[in-house]
Amino acid sequence: MLDLHVHLLGHNDREANQETIRAFLDQASQRGLKEIGFADHDYYWDQMNFPLIREVAKDYPQLDVRIGLEAEYRPNDEGRIKHLLEQFSFDFVIGSVHEIQGWAFDVPEEEPKHWQKEADELYREYFEVVTRAASSGLFTTIGHFDLIKIFGIRPKTDILMLADEALSAVAEHGLVLEVNTNGRYKPVQEFYPEQRLREEIRRRGIDFTLGSDAHCAEVVGRDIDEAIQLLRQSGVHSIVGFANLDKVNYSLD
């Protein structure tokens, strides 16, 4: 199947060379993936090497190797992302919100601040930024849609109400949401987005894609089969990959 969210550079842990690219593609092949998508964090732009990925990919004819980007979405910073997207013809672009008004909220040191805040307010502030990301016209995909739950804090208000506007923006702009399996390895210990959201996403006719958010080769494709099972159980019959910003359909039946 597919994994459209892997970080070749990790957190700037390694460089993009023949060997590191091969490690990712070998793992993708071993896991039986049909499509793999590199989506490094935009702040490592200068370390990326897209031509080399294309070159190495020629040795893996059974794999569709896609090149994307995980862009850090901040309101009033859209020009910067736009400029990056003009530099290369990407297959897909993930817009992710890891920051609320300059607060990088998803790192372990920030957990205490989550507990100090009022939970509903925390979720509202987060989904407001996600709504703007989805409306920006910059992305094909929104990354880890309910990342704000990372430390296991749940809102009092129904999540479907808190996420309503963001979901509407996603649907209106034809964006795709990923089942991101990496959430299982965070304090919340479950995939992004949670099951009720997955069901609502299906109900609204929004397309799903899949991502492990692997920051090293060993994790490529992790739990992707289980994510597919969960989607099937929620009544999802197909998911999408991307080529040159166009959706590619995969049947789950």
Distance CA 248, CA 237 (A): 14
- Give the DSSP H/E element, type plus range, for residue 250: strand 246-251
At 46, list the tokens. Answer: 């200068």
Reduce the secondary structure of 26-92 to three states and give it as a string.
HHHHHCCCCEEEEEEEHHHHHHCCHHHHHHHHCCCCCCEEEEEEEEECCCCCHHHHHHHHCCCCCCE
Of 60-68, 93-101, 124-132, 184-192: span binding Zn ion (CB under 5 A):
93-101
Using CB under 5 A, pick the residue from 96, 140, 181, 212 that binds Zn ion. 96
Of 82-90, 92-100, 202-210, 237-245: span binding Zn ion (CB under 5 A):
92-100
CB nearer Zn ion, residue 10 or residue 120: 10
Instruction: Let me know: does 90 contact 69? Beta carbons within 8 Å.
Output: yes
Q: How far is the CB of 222 from Zn ion (least distance, A)?
A: 13
Q: How far is the CB of 7 from Zn ion (least distance, A)?
A: 6
Q: How far is the CB of 148 from Zn ion (least distance, A)?
A: 12
Cis peptide before 51 (omega within 30 of 0): no
CB nearer Zn ion, residue 68 or residue 155: 68
CB nearer Zn ion, residue 91 or residue 213: 213
CB nearer Zn ion, residue 70 or residue 207: 70
Please name the residue that has the structure tokens 């490094």.
40
Instruction: Let me know: does 71 contact 99? Beta carbons within 8 Å.
Output: no
Residue type, 213: D
Q: How far is the CB of 104 from Zn ion (least distance, A)?
A: 11
Q: How far is the CB of 162 from Zn ion (least distance, A)?
A: 20
Distances (CA, A) of 128 to 73, 145, 148, 191: 12, 12, 12, 21
Q: Which of 47, 62, 3, 1 is nearest to 217 (CA)?
A: 3
Distances (CA, A) of 39 to 172, 181, 212: 24, 15, 11
CB nearer Zn ion, residue 103 or residue 233: 103
Residue 20 binds to Zn ion (criterion: CB under 5 A): no
- Which residues from 106-165 bind Zn ion, rule CB under 5 A? 143
- Which residues from 200-219 bind Zn ion, rule CB under 5 A? 213
CB nearer Zn ion, residue 107 or residue 116: 107
Phi-psi domain of 176 (left: phi exceeds 0; alpha: psi -120 through 50; beta: other): beta
CB nearer Zn ion, residue 136 or residue 199: 136
Q: How far is the CB of 152 from Zn ion (least distance, A)?
A: 18
x/- mask, Zn ion, residues 57-76, rule CB under 5 A, reads: -------------x------
Q: How far is the CB of 74 from Zn ion (least distance, A)?
A: 13
Q: Which residues bind Zn ion (CB under 5 A)?
A: 70, 96, 143, 213
